[in-house]
Amino acid sequence: MSEEMNQVEVKNFEIGDKVTGQVTKVEEKQVIVDIRDSKLDGIIPISELSSLHVEKASDAVSEGDLLDLEVLKVEEEALILSKRKVDAEKSWQDLEKKFQSGEIFEAEVKDVVKGGLVVDLGVRGFVPASLVEAHFVEDFSNYKGKTMTFKIVELEKDKNRLILSHRAVVEEEKGKQKHQILDSLQAGQVLEGTVQRITDFGAFVDIGGIDGLVHISQLSYEHIDKPSEVVSEGQSVQVKVLSVDRNNERISLSIRETLPGPWSDIAEKAPKGSTIKGTVKRLVSYGAFVELFPGVEGLVHISQIAHKHIGTPHEVLKEGQEIEVKILEVNEKDQRLSLSIKELQEKEDQYITDYELPEESTGFQLGEMIGDQLKNLKK
């Protein structure tokens, strides 16, 4: 076509017109297209090929590709076109729907930049570092080329602002999983779990996507001052479900109740008639509670503390005192032990008491005899 005819043809187009063009030549910094239904060629500068930075035009298009384009400039013999603007317009409409519905979709990470990730959705989408994962990530270099799921969390077309989040997807899935687990849990269940976090008052255990609390009192049968004495982060543990509060999403767990109880096989550990060392734990008006094993206490009734009569156990015992006791009775079912201290002590020698009484009596008789003799002398 002559130069004059080209000029006439060009005048049929205006800025903003939509055209279709077929790629006839891919140069390093621009692409030449044959505009359908005309005899004109169009030029797409490399900057108008994609919403993302493109090093070479061949990275974005190939010869023979049929493209939807928008007229940017009308020059004397050619049209300057944009693929990016048409793609963006289509994309914004689609993205607006996704944003309104909260749709989760897949996309490939095109680049890793300072502060986050870049995703091409027809427009440039940005994923801030804080919205990539639910956990902290130090190095994002291996995320380039990775296909991930995203949700749109901010969209402002006028400012060309599109913020995506993978973290929101992870947390949403966790939330669904959490509710499923909450619905399925029942008190009394025994489950495998992993210790996630240790605090002063207990340990949080992950039981498959949801954490439950093992209070310090439910960690062990033995008294402990700190949870770290018996569990550590990352440790696998068996837990029993004590209660489930679905409204507040709270689960109470016990490790202690999955362990053999301290009273288990107590008749073998403390057989009737045997002698065992223990520690006085509590003194009450009717006796003393003595700990024989962690979590196992028995009662020494006040009548079994000493042979002599005592008003209160405090007269002969004190808390924390180490003593020996004899096992009188063992009741594993009711978790009761009857103990005795006095049965391990010798009785006071009754012989001495019996001997003293006649001596007093003899003394009395001698006095009488002397008195009688004096009477006789007076006569």
The partner residues of 241 in beta bridges, in order of sequence, read 253
The partner residues of 323 in beta bridges, in order of sequence, read 278
**Tell me, what's the pLDDT at 360?**
44
The pLDDT tens digits for 343-371 are: 998 765 443 444 444 444 444 454 454 45
**Tell me, what's the pLDDT at 292?**
92
Q: 176: which residues sit within 8 A by CB, 6+ positions away? A: none
The pLDDT tens digits for 11-36 are: 678 898 999 999 999 998 999 999 88
Length of the chain: 379
The whole-angstrom distance between residue 136's C-alpha and the CA centroid of its chain comes to: 15
Average pLDDT, the chain: 86
Q: What span, in angstroms and rounded, lies between the C-alpha atoms of 355 and 46?
A: 125
Mean per-residue pLDDT for 300-314? 93
Q: Which CATH code fits 87-170?
A: 2.40.50.140
**Tell me, what's the pLDDT at 368?**
52
Mean per-residue pLDDT for 226-242? 94
Domain with residues 3-82, CATH architecture: Beta Barrel (2.40)
Q: What span, in angstroms and rounded, lies between the C-alpha atoms of 171 and 343?
A: 66
The pLDDT tens digits for 268-302 are: 889 999 999 999 999 999 999 999 988 899 999 99
The pLDDT tens digits for 121-155 are: 988 999 999 999 988 998 999 999 999 999 999 99
Q: Taking phi first (over 0 means left), then psi (-120 to 50 degrees means alpha), and beta for anything else, what does residue 287 get?
A: left
Mean per-residue pLDDT for 257-266? 84
User: What are the residue boundaries of the structural domains of the chain, listed by start?
Assistant: 3-82, 87-170, 185-258, 266-344
Quote the CATH superfamily of domain 266-344.
Nucleic acid-binding proteins (2.40.50.140)
Q: Which of 82, 94, 108, 63 is nearest to 19 (CA)?
A: 82
Do 87-170 and 266-344 have matching folds?
A: yes
The whole-angstrom distance between residue 167's C-alpha and the CA centroid of its chain comes to: 17
Domain with residues 185-258, CATH architecture: Beta Barrel (2.40)
Q: Are 65 and 32 a contacting pair, CB within 8 Å?
A: no
The model carries a pTM of: 0.51
